[in-house]
Amino acid sequence: MEIFQANNVVKEFVGHVALSSVSISVKEASIFGLLGPNGAGKTTLIRIINQITAPDSGELFFEGRPIKADDIYQIGYLPEERGLYKKMKVGEQALYLAQLKGMSKKDALKNLKIWFEKFEIQAWWGKKVEELSKGMAQKVQFITTVIHQPKLLIFDEPFTGFDPINTNLIKNEILELKKNGTTIIFSTHNMSSVEEICDHIALLNQSKKILDGQIDQVKEKFKTNTFEVQYRGDTPDLEYRLGANFKVLEHDVNDRLKQMKVQFLNGNSNNELLKILMNQFEIVSFKEVIPSMNDVFIHVVEQNNLEILR
């Protein structure tokens, strides 16, 4: 079941189209990557989901029905630009924000204690936010985002300012939230994080959605029939020995164990390539090159920009 849907959402500002008929569908208990270069429209769509601003046209659905004002209590939002009050004490502020989200003081204190212990930050309770490092403050804001156990969480660049250890900590907490049934919309420029945790992505560029799909299916779609081969043996006239149906993209012969990347053309099969190679060399390893999400992102955005210019 979809917990959130946006159908043909349009949003314009003075002299600027931010979203042009954008539609997305986010399934329950999944992590949905909302991707795109700066200015693509991601933040505008996130603000519309949070009812910070309204679309000019289009439909929004939450749990299968038109979204309502009080659905905001079922949504948690961690913006890229953090917004804690620097002069307030950490515990006082966390308690205040939890109550703003509809929690009783008793429940808020109970849940905050659990999270502060989990992150080992009990000693920060009485400190002012301005005394904390950026990473420490981000931990506090992460807690205040998830404390009311919303059904839908929206994280905009949640790992900004974290060292690798704390990035891994937050990443594991996000995965645990998903495991427990929370749905997450995850916006980032870090494509390695997208590959690690997202189930589905939508890619926006210049106000439009230009790609949508499950991670594995998206990567499969953009394969280039390229294989990475490690082998032993002499390599004179490599192109001639492989034949016209194959193109050598990279070839490294500096080490005893040689490597190359070969792309096969005209719809040839990997079995055909492997058969040819085995007749020529001692094959040590043979694997298909699957594009990374970073490769896909760059390729699709660049192609879309070229199409817009034509």
Q: Give pLDDT tens digits along the chain (310 positions).
A: 899 999 999 999 988 999 999 999 999 999 999 999 998 999 999 999 999 999 999 999 999 999 999 999 999 999 887 678 888 999 999 999 999 988 999 999 999 999 999 999 999 999 998 898 888 888 999 999 999 999 999 999 898 878 899 999 999 999 999 999 999 999 998 898 999 999 999 999 999 999 999 999 999 999 888 888 888 877 656 666 666 777 888 877 776 788 888 887 766 567 777 777 787 778 888 888 899 999 999 999 999 998 888 6
Identify the CATH class of 224-288: alpha beta
pLDDT of residue 231: 83
CATH of 2-86+147-220, one of 3.40.50.1100, 3.40.50.970, 3.40.30.10, 3.40.50.300: 3.40.50.300
The answer to whether the CB of 199 falls within 8 A of the CB of 31 is yes
Q: CA dihedral defined by 264, 265, 267, 269, rounded to 10 degrees?
A: -20
pLDDT of residue 65: 95
Angle at the Cα of 225 (from 275 to 209), degrees rounded to 5?
A: 165
On the CB side of 302, how many CA atoms lie within 13 Å of its CA?
6
Residue 78, φ and ψ in degrees, nearest 5: -110, 100
Q: Where in the chain is the domain with CATH 3.30.70?
A: 224-288
Whole-number Cα distances in Å, 154 to 44, 45, 204: 13, 11, 17
Whose tokens are 């991601």? That residue is 42
pLDDT of residue 236: 57
Whole-number Cα distances in Å, 86 to 51, 90, 127, 195: 26, 9, 10, 35
Query: Which amino acid, 63?
Result: E
pLDDT digits (tens, 9 = 90+) for 66-115: 999 999 999 999 988 767 888 899 999 999 999 998 899 999 999 999 99
Q: Where in the chain is the domain with CATH 3.40.50.300?
A: 2-86+147-220
Count of CB atoms situated within 10 Å of the CB of 24: 21
pLDDT of residue 237: 63
Quote the CA–CA distance of 267 and 270 in Å, as a whole number.
Answer: 10
